[in-house]
Structure 1
Amino acid sequence: MGVPEARDVATRVAERLSATRGTPVTVDSARRLPAGASRATYAATLVDSEGRPEAIIIRAVPAAQDDGGLGAEAEVLRAAADAGVPVPAILDAGLGEDSVLGFPYLTMNFIGGESIPRRILRDDTYAAARDRFVQQCGGILARVHQIDAAATPGLEELVDPVDALRALFPREFDAMPAGLLLATQWLVANPPPSSPGSGVVHGDFRLGNLLVDADGVAAVLDWELVHIGDPVEDLGWLCAKAWRFGGSTPVAGMGERAGLLDAYAEVAGWRPAEEALRWWELYATVKWGLICAFQANRHLDGIERSVELAAIGRRSAEQEFDALLDLGIVSPEVVPDPLSVETSGPDEEPHGSPSSLELLEALGGFLRSDAVTSEMSPQVKFHTRVAGNVVDVVRRQVLLGPIHAAESAQRLAALGVTDQRALCDALRSGELDGTDEKVRAAVAADVRARLVVANPKYFAVPHP
């Protein structure tokens, strides 16, 4: 089933609300918001019989064979509201044969606020919100974890976190690169201090899934990954480096771990150990690295062809480097971009001039030029910028790929393995010891090579 037009969706929902409320509701405006492949999200403004506007959000799953997970989401949202968590209110739910759209949907009230992380972290509008962000999130997460699990039956329980990664991402888990594999082995060998008990876990509590206004966190969104598990998982995910967006402090780039744990304890009545928090941060790093590979595979398999998804695959090198930072194997440093250094590329006889590097440089410059981007929508402009970054990745690999390949082969031969897959197989089997300094040095060198090509600026990103 194709994705229907926003106006048609909003009109049908307005008719449904007219019937349930007993008063006419009409559509003033409607648009589809950017969303994933499996769910569609619409924003609409309705008008009641007295001319008062009402903004709503409609979340739908056009291709669902069942309720598309929206039934569980509705239960969780209601239970979260009862627990004092700021969430949108459910106005209507069409989850079965009663759906006026012919597929599952939820209608919720619209809550104003900003969700784009870089604006939240930098715009003056959110200065006060940044000051209270850590305190607020500590309290909100404590309330999330106090949600009555009995009110949300059917949630999956995460018993063994590493086994859960294997189950969620079997293909990517089996093919994870060596840096993430070392981190995974460390996680298994060093389990975190236990929490007082399991509870409802949001599963994706981070910048991007929070609406923030001038006063602070206005709403917690995107509950698709909610489950039963260790509550510190949410705290660690919020502190993961991937969700700091360049900020220099651990909690979403806006505060310190101690402040988050103190604020959590004020509401929860117990304070998680920082050791546990850091374990879950490393876990989040590994998980996001696997998600990067998963997203790239969606593109490679033809499920959702996207330059953004393709580019995300190379971001796993950032997660490998972060994992090695946590394990004390590497340190932050400043690494010049190879493209800023005058270096000749590989011999390109007999193809002549311009070289492949020069052609790629011209292409990257064109994609970033005002002539291309000035009339674009923000969404297309974003993807064009991603395409320009992909060109730079390819330029670095053309420049350094043969050198990196030769150096890596030499390092791996000294360990008695032939390639990256054989290295990981040997680490998994115990043939190679992940705590051995020579092994760690070889893994670190390969991770450095991948990151130099993917994003050399990332070496110097703060890692508190």
Structure 2
Amino acid sequence: MGVPEADGVAAKIASRLAESRGTPISVEAARLLPAGASRATYAATLVAGTGRVEPIIIRAVPAATDDGGLRAEAQVLRAAASAGVPVPEILDAGFDDGPNVLGFPYLAMNFIDGESIPRRILRDEAYVGARARFVEQCGAILARIHRIDAAQTPGLSELADPIGGLRQLFPREFDAMPAGLVLATQWLTDNRPDPSPRQCLVHGDFRLGNLLIDSEGVAAVLDWELVHLGDPVEDLGWLCAKAWRFGGASPVAGMGNRDVLLDAYAREAGWRPAEEALRWWELYATVKWGLICAVQAARHLDGVERSVELAAIGRRSAEQEFDALLDLGLVTPEAVPDPLTESPGVDPNDDLYGSPSAVELLEALAEFLRSDAMQAELSPQVRFHTRVAGNVVDVVRRQALLGARDAVASAQRLDALGVADQAALCDGLRSGELDGADPKVRDAIVADVRARLLVANPKYFAVPHP
């Protein structure tokens, strides 16, 4: 089944709501929004017979053999609303065991106005007040989420063993994770914090990007697809993970400090998580996001969803490796010059292929992708992807300049440790043949991570890490 047209979907939902409310409702506008591969999301504007305009969101699973998680999401949204969590109101829902005007699973919800783009939230003047209240609001909201009675949301999966959960969720990526993340995973395994007082409902993806923000603060908590049962500090750690600070200098989503978050949580929850536990879950989030970067790249490489954005995300695992080494105290933030601003270097193939060199051709391509002439007539979505493409070209340029030198240096380091390649290095760490506490092993891992990050994103070396 293809994705149904927005007008037809909206008309059926309008008819359903008109019947339940006993008043005529028409559709003023409807459109399909960008969404994941398995779900369709529609925005529609309805008009009641009284003239009241009502914007709504419809989430649907047209092609799935099951409900795509919508039934569980509906249960969680209703329970969250009862617990005082700001969430969209479910106006109508259809599954396979009751009224279903679409013929496939769906949720119709009220539209909540707000901003979800992190860089706007962190920088725009309109959100100054929201930024001041954000951390305390999040502490209180998370405490309310964690108070939800799990009996209201039966059937949720449970994350009893966090490390085992990573292996279960991402088996291929877990076995192939790079050395910096292997080192971090071993530290997590050896330094588990005391468990929280109880397992509870965990949002699973509570962060900037999944929160709607208005001038007063958090207007709604969105995207409950990863909800599960687990340790409540998982949500706090995910919110504080460096990946979700978007360049901000403060640990909680770039907007505040850990003690403010923990104090606000304690006031609502009646207990205060230890900061050591919070930092453990922050490092866990770094490892998890590093694995998800590999999952995203695999979607492109496996042909599931060919996308330059997904391909680019694969190289971002170097950022997560570096963050893990920061947490382990093996590196410190520092400003590092971009190789592309240095001497262009010499391509050994220049003599054969002539001028311009491969690196110079890539530079011309990057300049074209970023040019005003290229950007002027593009839609915002295509403009974003051309910027991503320009960044990918820069990654390839840096690798063309540094790759041969770095490969020789890495091979020499690994040879001194008695291993042949990166896979053997990681296997040696896992088996215990290589000691992750050995300074020579750590120095080799640090040097390789630095080489990967210098190619992927040299600006990242200087990002604050409070």
Q: TM-score, normalised by structure 2?
A: 0.99
Partner SS for 2:92: strand
- Match among 404, 420, 425 for residue 422 of structure 2: 420
Separation in 2, partners of 1:124, 1:78? 33
* Residues 125-154 of structure 1, C-alpha deviations (whole Å, 9 max, x = no match): 000000000010000000000011100000
- Match among 428, 432, 456 for residue 458 of structure 2: 456
Please name the residue that 1:2 is paired with. 2
Shift in Å at residue 102 of structure 1? 2.2
Please name the residue that 2:319 is paired with. 318
8 Å contact 2:347–2:358 — kept in the other structure?
Answer: no
8 Å contact 1:133–1:254 — kept in the other structure?
Answer: yes
- Match among 333, 346, 353 for residue 351 of structure 1: 353
Separation in 2, partners of 1:259, 1:129? 15
Please name the residue that 1:113 is paired with. 114
Please name the residue that 1:396 is paired with. 398
Separation in 2, partners of 1:345, 1:17? 68
* Residues 142-195 of structure 1, C-alpha deviations (whole Å, 9 max, x = no match): 000001110000011100000000000000000000000000000000001221
8 Å contact 2:89–2:110 — kept in the other structure?
Answer: yes
Instruction: For 1:133, give the aligned amino acid.
Output: F
Shift in Å at residue 99 of structure 1? 2.5
Partner SS for 2:306: coil
* Mapping for residues 223-262 of structure 1, pairs under 5 Å: 223-262=224-263
Partner SS for 1:350: helix
Separation in 2, partners of 1:418, 1:229? 39
Separation in 2, partners of 1:2, 1:177? 38
Separation in 1, partners of 2:81, 2:432? 49
Partner SS for 1:155: coil
* Residues 286-341 of structure 1, C-alpha deviations (whole Å, 9 max, x = no match): 00000000000000000011000000000000000000000011111111000000
Separation in 2, partners of 1:6, 1:192? 49
Q: Cα RMSD between the aligned structures?
A: 0.8
Shift in Å at residue 76 of structure 1? 0.2
Separation in 1, partners of 2:169, 2:346? 41
Please name the residue that 1:95 is paired with. 95
8 Å contact 1:240–1:252 — kept in the other structure?
Answer: yes
User: Which sections of structure 2, spanning at least 5 residues, go unmatched?
Assistant: none
Please name the residue that 1:22 is paired with. 22
Shift in Å at residue 101 of structure 1? 2.0
Please name the residue that 1:81 is paired with. 81
Partner SS for 2:419: coil
8 Å contact 1:345–1:398 — kept in the other structure?
Answer: no
Shift in Å at residue 49 of structure 1? 1.0
Shift in Å at residue 117 of structure 1? 0.3
8 Å contact 2:347–2:357 — kept in the other structure?
Answer: no
1:71 has 2:71 as partner: yes
Shift in Å at residue 103 of structure 1? 1.6
The percentage of aligned residue pairs carrying the same residue is: 76
8 Å contact 1:345–1:357 — kept in the other structure?
Answer: no
Number of equivalenced pairs? 464
Separation in 2, partners of 1:283, 1:110? 33
Partner SS for 1:234: helix
Per mean C-alpha deviation after superposition, the further-off stretch among 240-249 and 349-358 is: 349-358
User: Which sections of structure 1, spanning at least 5 residues, go unmatched?
Assistant: none
Please name the residue that 1:440 is paired with. 442
Shift in Å at residue 345 of structure 1? 3.0
1:173 has 2:174 as partner: yes
Instruction: For 2:355, give the aligned amino acid.
Output: S
Separation in 2, partners of 1:23, 1:453? 61
Please name the residue that 2:409 is paired with. 407
8 Å contact 1:243–1:252 — kept in the other structure?
Answer: yes
Partner SS for 1:112: coil
Shift in Å at residue 343 of structure 1? 3.1
Please name the residue that 2:163 is paired with. 162
